[in-house]
Structure 1
Amino acid sequence: MINIRFITNIIGKLLLIECVCFLLCVLISLLYGESDTLAFLYSAIITGITGMCMAYIVKAPDQILAKKDGYFTVTCIWLFFSLFGCLPFIIGNTIPSFTDAFFETMSGFTTTGSSILNNIESLPHATLFWRSMTQWLGGLGIAVLFLAILPSLGIEGRDLYVAEVPGPTHNKMAATFYSSARKLWLFYLSFTALETILLMFGGMSLFDAICHSFSTMATGGFSTKQDSIAYWNSPYIQYVIMLFMFIAAINFGLYLTALKGDFKRIFHDEELRWYTIIIAVCSIVIACGLYFNGWAGAEKCFRDAAFQVVTIMTTTGFATADYLLWPTLLGLLIFVLMFIGSCAGSTAGGIKVVRVVLLFKNSFTEMKRIIHPNAVINVKYDGKSVHPTVMTGVMAFFILFMIVFSIGSIIMAIFTDDIATACSAVISCMSNIGPGFGSIGPMDNFSHLSDAAKLFCAALMLIGRLEVFTVLVLFSKAFWKR
């Protein structure tokens, strides 16, 4: 059975962390002398009291977390954080509708970046900061944050990690798990600080630089401006953000390898190599297409193409150009990239490059087996044979992902007027990208959708962020058996 009492303790302690984040926003609101101070203060009090009750009043004599508990816990963490995270929006009347506030908050914590806001600049600074901070916290994973700072609880952390971290990570952090979790957050914080400094050199204010660094390192996409990165019209800022989006979407296990001095492992990583090749090839193809269609000069064509390829493939969702105005074939390429995503074990969403590579390799290997039926031919990745169970898991994930996408598109078609909006809304939410096609393009948002459509999209965000299986397994009868 699920260890409800211990899971309640865990969620309660995490809510106390969220309470501290609210108090930080109170300080920012006081600093700018704006109207949302009480909204964050009341939110901190409500969240703090609830967290204290869950963490210390509910006793858990059996402090054991099984793998089954891990899946349930991680799903509950995202739901609870989003439910309490939307309080400042509702209490402060910046987003008075619960559905809209929950959608915006879930979009933040799942690092999706889809929004219902039509006048972002009118929001108070503390609200904008909280909005970006939801992405930063959700980026590397609230569960990994929990493991990094609360190891004294004696939880078997790998079960939470496996349930939360996207993709079939082939760089496991086994022996020194808790130490690795802390190192990941130190790395995450360091690169956030470095990007903030570089953005300030480009003319961003300290506040805007911090918020955009939060969103970039989380591959989230929330901006403090309605026009997103296009607001600054700065090639320097675009190239800096492009670089850090690329960095944030690389398997974080490789950075731990680099910290140990094993740089050879990075240069020989097959997923990183294909990730780089796909981005480079697609950027060049789209840049050439734009240039020969008279979009702009050579440098701007390359910059617009590269930025949109990187922001879509890393599932960040920042915007510098409206790809809906591009030739149809180039838009189709962008749509395909929405499915692929980037590297496993990063803050990004999507199917992941490693899975796509393994699927293609398995297809070609199967053709060889047909030609040579008596030969023993295995799929190889990074020079090693891939175990059949891994391939089964990859194929099962891909099939389930496409089933959810197909059914989701049919359901969304009920709520929308065109199939482009319906299909792109589903894949945008499942891959945690943000913008889509049709009426939810890079220069539009989700505000015009019905409440039912928004709640459905929020559910897709959670399913996609937690890798489909983690959420859907909760609906199976076998999961709840002893």
Structure 2
Amino acid sequence: MNRRMILYLICQILRIEAVTMIPAAVIAIVQKEYPSLIGFIFAMLAMGGVSLLSAAFRVRKKEIYARDGFLTVSLAWIAVSLFGALPFWISGEIPNFIDCIFETVSGFTTTGASVVQNVEALPMSLLYWRSFTHWLGGMGVLVFLLAIIPIMKGKSTLVHLLRAESPGPSVEKLAPKLHQTAKILYGIYIALTMVQILILLAGGMPLFDSVTTSFATAGTGGFAIKNDSMAGYSPFQQGVVTVFMALFGVNFNIFYLLLLRQFSRVFRNQELRLYLGTMIGAILLITWNVLPQFDWNPGTAAHHVAFTVSSVMTTTGFATVDFNQWPMFSKTILVILMIFGACAGSTGGGIKSIRVLILFKEAKRNIRKMLRPRSVSAIHVDGAKVDDEVVHGVHDYLTVYTIISIASLLLIAIDNFSMETSLTAVLACLNNIGPGLDLVGPMGNYACFSAGSKLILSLDMLIGRLEIFPMLMLAVPAAWKR
């Protein structure tokens, strides 16, 4: 175990987090939000002080292995969440530190679950920081570090870090060097974010609203700066957000293939077809089901349903209507979409479309083997064979996912809320969605839960964002041995 390198990487990440707080501090100065400014200055000084630890010792061996990669990613996400919560707490805008942790973990994990009951009362600087945590956490803080600072040359080191933080059952390289892959990913990420900002500005949305909304959309997080989420914006602006939520739920490899003009590979991509097919099917079914609630106006119904389905399936969490009031058939579809999630390699959450696709293909293979016991067949996705190790990994993921969901539900059930509230709260946090149903619906929040439940749900958010196993590694004593 390379403890010096792990600590060094965490210090580097905290240094970057401190730098990313500067724009929020500038906004606090311009808006004369002095309590918030004090909070940002204190947080930056604290992170700067901790990051100086990296200069107190020499890292002789910069290579790390799989175990170290898991521990580095898990500890880094906990560290950025704890320090990122300081501005909320020191400013006094969120007096309870556990609430601050919940809000910040929700931000970095792009969940969008909130304990703030009056969002519009928050200072502009904190609203900016709150949305920016989505953007930074969307692609991953380690990926961001690797994209801007080539601090490690070992190929295996980069693989272990990317594997621990990137969503999906496997990591694909877009370039010969993983450092270049990280740059490509963030280049696409920044470009799409800038395009959305410009389109929203052209559509009449104010600059601050455009920036914060685009940050939350890009990270598929869903922190809004209005109490009614996106309901108060124009249909055009809502439509733009609908499209970009769906785009950020797509595997970023697809955008790279488009840049290379490899259109045939894009059209043949089975995960993309499943993702878009499921989204379109859900929109059609729910629109049919909710037509009476929209006075039988198919255009209005389809507009709001498309926004909601795109928001839920990509695990963004924005809302234009209170889908908690929709029929049970529609709400059931939305809960299924919460679990289903977006594509691997995107900023979305959920179990990912590729895992569902692999499970379908394996079920089909098993049925064939029952009919022809001696037959030998392999699972193929996009013409490539899927290793049995990946298939077993999908099964392991779903098994642990189910166990964590049940355990979390039992623990927060102590608060004695309805099953609809408790179950969807767990699913919404574990799948990094944000809004659930009943008390945690799109027009509610998580302030009603006890401190213990908020900590459990915060842990669920981290577990879900890091795809379970990196966080579980922290609880394995053998992982800490030299």
Q: TM-score range by the shorter chain?
A: over 0.9
Rounded Cα–Cα distance in structure 1 between residues aligned with 2:188 and 2:345: 14
Aligned residue identity for 1:211 = T
Q: Aligned partners of 2:131 and 2:72: how far apart in 1?
A: 24
1:43 corresponding residue in structure 2: 43
- In structure 2, the CA distance between the partners of 1:198 and 1:61, relative to structure 1 (3 Å rule), is same
Q: What's 1:123 paired with?
A: 122
2:158 pairs with 1:157: yes
> Counterparts of 1:98 and 1:44 in 2: how far apart (Å)?
18
Q: Secondary structure at the match of 1:152?
A: coil
Maintained 8 Å contact 2:355/2:394 = yes
Q: Do 2:289 and 2:329's aligned partners in 1 also have CA atoms closer than 8 Å?
A: no
Aligned to 2:240: 240
Equivalent in the alignment of 2:397: 397
Amino acid at match of 1:124: P
**Separation in 2 of the partners of 1:389 and 1:20?**
40
Query: 1:180 touches 1:256 (CA, 8 Å); kept in 2?
Result: no
Query: Does 2:271 correspond to 1:271?
Result: yes
Which stretch has the larger CA shift, 364-373 or 309-318? 364-373
How many residues are paired up? 479
- Spell out the pairing of 1:19-418 with structure 2 (5 A cutoff): 19-35=18-34, 36-52=36-52, 54-154=53-153, 156-169=157-170, 171-173=172-174, 175-232=176-233, 234-292=234-292, 295-418=295-418
Partner of 2:449: 449
Shift of 1:365: 1.6
- CA deviation string 1:423-475 (max 9, x = no partner): 11111011000000121011000011111111110000000000011211332
CA distance in structure 2 between the aligned counterparts of 1:95 and 1:188, rounded to whole angstroms: 31
**Shift in alpha-carbon separation, 1:293–1:230, aligned structure 2, 3 A:** closer
SS of 1:291 mapped into structure 2: helix
Q: Deviations over 1:391-447 (max 9, x none)?
A: 111111111111111221111211232111111111101100000012101100001
- Assess if the C-alpha contact under 8 Å between 2:110 and 2:222 holds in 1: yes
Q: Deviations over 1:80-131 (max 9, x none)?
A: 0001001111111111110000000000000000000011111111111000
Distance 1:295 1:480, change over 3 A: farther
Taking only the aligned residue pairs, the percentage that are identical comes to 37
Tell whether the 8 Å contact from 1:171 to 1:254 is kept in structure 2 after alignment. Answer: no
Counterpart-to-counterpart distance in 1, 2:38 and 2:399: 47
Of 100-109 and 375-384, more deviation after overlay is shown by 375-384
Letter in 2 for 1:251: N
Query: Pairwise CA RMSD of aligned residues?
Result: 1.5
Q: Which residue does 1:473 correspond to in 2?
A: 473
Against the structure 1 CA distance between its residues 293 and 136, is the aligned structure 2 distance closer, same or farther, given a 3 Å change threshold?
closer
**CA contact 2:432–2:465 (8 Å) conserved in 1:** yes
- Cα deviations by residue, 1:359-409 (Å, 9 ceiling, x for unpaired): 112112211111111222322221333222221111111111111112211
Contact persistence 2:166–2:345 (CA under 8 A): yes
Give the Cα separation in 2 of the matches to 1:416 and 1:341: 28
SS at match of 1:230: coil
Instruction: State the AA in 2 paired with 1:131.
Output: R
Against the structure 1 CA distance between its residues 169 and 248, is the aligned structure 2 distance closer, same or farther, given a 3 Å change threshold?
Answer: farther
CA separation in 2, counterparts of 1:290 and 1:88?
Answer: 42
TM-score normalized by the length of structure 2: 0.96
Deviation digits for residues 299-334 of structure 1 (CA, Å, limit 9, x no counterpart): 111011111111010000001111111111111111
How many angstroms does 1:296 deviate by? 4.9
Point out where structure 1 has 5 or more consecutive residues left out of the alignment: none
Opposite residue 143 of structure 1, the aligned amino acid is: L
